Amino acid sequence: MPEIEEKDLNPEDISPQTEPETEVENALASQTESVSKAQSAIPIQSDAEPVSAGRTNPRVLPIDLRRTVQTDEDKARSDLLDLLESQRTRRILTGTIQGIEGGPDNGGRSLAVIYHGEYKVLIPAEEAVIPPEDYRGRPPQEVLHQLLTRRLGAEVDYLVKGIDSDARIAVASRLEAMRAKRREMYYATDREGNYTIHADLCAEARVVSVIRAGIFVDIFGAETYIPLSELSYQRMMDAASAFQPGQRILVKLLEVNRGRGYEVTVTASVKQAGENPFEKAIRRYSVGNRYVGTVSMVSTVGVFVSLDGGIDCLCNYPKRGRPPRGSRATVKILGINQETNRIWGAITHIATPR
């Protein structure tokens, strides 16, 4: 069965970033039997004792008046208090998607797995990824499972919805956490009433998914797609060669649009967050001279040779034939256009890698 490319679902095919207010409780009730305790979202009745019967916290003789070294049960208690605080005060927690459980092949709903200390946090697929508007005739659970799998290793925010302290399992929602983060960050203003997050601002972003044609990033709860053309000033064939889920990168916000219900759409660029290498190239290279570089890409328009400083020089096919990628080439610069940031030349020598 053909896979849906995530680039086909975004940005046009992905629905606006709206999440249901309280659909998680319904999702919890229908989880697979293997995680039935987590799905029922059993609330903790007492904060006094996070461990089940039979577990004891051994007496430890401290060096000072107060013990500073934590036991395993101390750590478990601290982990539980974090989860309880998230559930009761809507404190946003952060973790890494370390596994995917369930799924169409196992006859159940897909679940993202995050570990918070000794506690296993489960996030249903419909609460972990933004659903597409068009499933292209495929079962929704199958599409959501595919999108969730692409986010393995991603760092995400989540809000806890239910806890089973005996099984040390919690159920959470990423989409609710994203909405809360957007409300906190994109609608905050300074003393003059201006939004603190605006276009032309550089910010950190989390890479949550990578496909050949680009990357998906989470910028303070707003997930957006950045194509190859905005990832680097150099020619890039595959985004996976430089990016992977879990990375934190610097981006420049090009557009920020706010809507009702804390809907936010963002357009961003990775390459525009850094210095344009062509500004240095104007001073470093001159027309008529020869420079050495590496063949970075061969396309129908010509051969791109990567020169020192992070720029590509477009050259015609040499008479000896098409050079392989990675080969060293000597290029004679024929022209430099400062307005379009383009350099073109001719290959005069090729050293094929052994």
For the segment 223-243, what is each residue's pLDDT rounded down to a tens digit? 999 999 999 988 788 999 999
117 and 188 both lie in a single domain: no
Count of domains in the chain? 3
**In sequence order, which residues have a C-beta less than 8 Å from that of residue 267 and are 6 or more positions away?**
224, 253, 254, 255
Structure tokens that stand for 285 in this block: 């290279």
Query: What is the pLDDT averaged over residues 303-329?
Result: 88
* 151 touches 27 (CB < 8 A): no
pLDDT value for 8: 54
List residues bridging with 159 in a β-sheet.
173
133 and 198 both lie in a single domain: no
58 and 120 both lie in a single domain: yes
Query: What is the pLDDT averaged over residues 279-292?
Result: 87
- Does the structure show a pLDDT above 70 at 23? no
106 and 242 both lie in a single domain: no
pLDDT value for 218: 98
Query: How many whole angstroms separate alpha carbon 144 and alpha carbon 125?
Result: 6
Range of the domain at 314: 285-351
Give which of 85, 15, 87, 91 is closest to 261, Cα–Cα. 15
248 and 293 both lie in a single domain: no
Give which of 275, 271, 291 is closest to 343, Cα–Cα. 291
- Within a domain: 239: yes
Mean pLDDT in the chain? Answer: 84
250 and 321 both lie in a single domain: no
Assign 38 a pLDDT band (cuts: 50, 70, 90).
very low
- Does the structure show a pLDDT above 70 at 16? no
Q: Residue holding tokens 């500004």?
A: 279
pLDDT value for 63: 76
User: Which segment, 88-97, 288-297, 308-317, is predicted with the most confidence on average?
Assistant: 88-97
Three-class SS of residue 301?
coil
- Within a domain: 279: no
Query: How many whole angstroms separate alpha carbon 116 and alpha carbon 267?
Result: 32
For the segment 300-310, what is each residue's pLDDT rounded down to a tens digit? 889 999 998 77
Question: Which run of H or of E encompasses 68?
Answer: none
Query: What is the pLDDT averaged over residues 63-72?
Result: 75
Question: What is the widest separation between alpha-carbon atoms in the chain?
Answer: 83
